[in-house]
Amino acid sequence: MADDCIFCQIAGGKIPARVVFQDEDVMVFRDLTPKAPSHLLVIPKRHISSLAETDDADSGLLGKLLHRAVETARQEGLDKGFRTVINTGPEGGQTVGHLHLHVIGGRQMTWPPG
Ligand code: DGP
């Protein structure tokens, strides 16, 4: 847990969020500033600052996060499709320094995202 990390604080129940799923390793909650009708964030409860900070030992956890993204999309009824995004580092557009996977859907997505 990183004391100054907003997602660690959400994972620890210290600040509120609209949580839709959690188990011992993973939490899913609604994005504060949704970019589509469904916009959720899948995070590891353990502090990992970005995808670039993961290694082989994290393979199981990364698989769990991806699987949870699929389950989240199912729960949201995104049967026509959805987008998963992991922004990494400043040039990747990452603004919160705790690994998170966006699950976005409920409208037509365009490519490239900009
Ligand atoms: P990124 O740019 O990939 O680092 O996305 C960070 C996302 O986190 C952004 O879409 C807004 C969301 N966010 C930031 N602060 C909070 C918060 O306090 N609560 C929730 N639910 N979402 C947040």
97 lines ligand 1 (CB under 6 A): no
- Which tens digits make up the pLDDT trace of 30-81? 999 999 999 999 999 999 999 999 999 999 999 999 999 999 999 999 999 9
Residue 92: which domain range? 6-105
- Residue 111 falls inside a structural domain: no
CATH assignment at residue 26: 3.30.428.10
Band (pLDDT 50/70/90 cuts) for residue 113 is confident
State residue 94 phi and psi, 5-degree precision: -75, 125
pLDDT at 85 over 80: yes
Count of domains for the chain: 1
Q: Is 105 exposed, middle or buried (0-12, 13-18, 19+ CB in 10 A)?
A: buried
C-beta of residue 76 within 8 angstroms of C-beta of residue 8:
no
Note whether residue 39 is domain-resident.
yes
Q: Is residue 19 a part of any domain in this protein?
A: yes
110: in domain: no
Going by alpha carbons, the residue nearest to atom 19 of ligand 1 is: 32
Q: In this structure, is residue 101 part of a structural domain? A: yes
Confirm whether 100 is a catalytic residue: yes
Would you say residue 1 lies in a domain?
no
**Sign of the Cα pseudo-torsion (16, 74, 106, 96, in order):** positive
Ligand 1 contact, 36 CB (< 6 A):
no
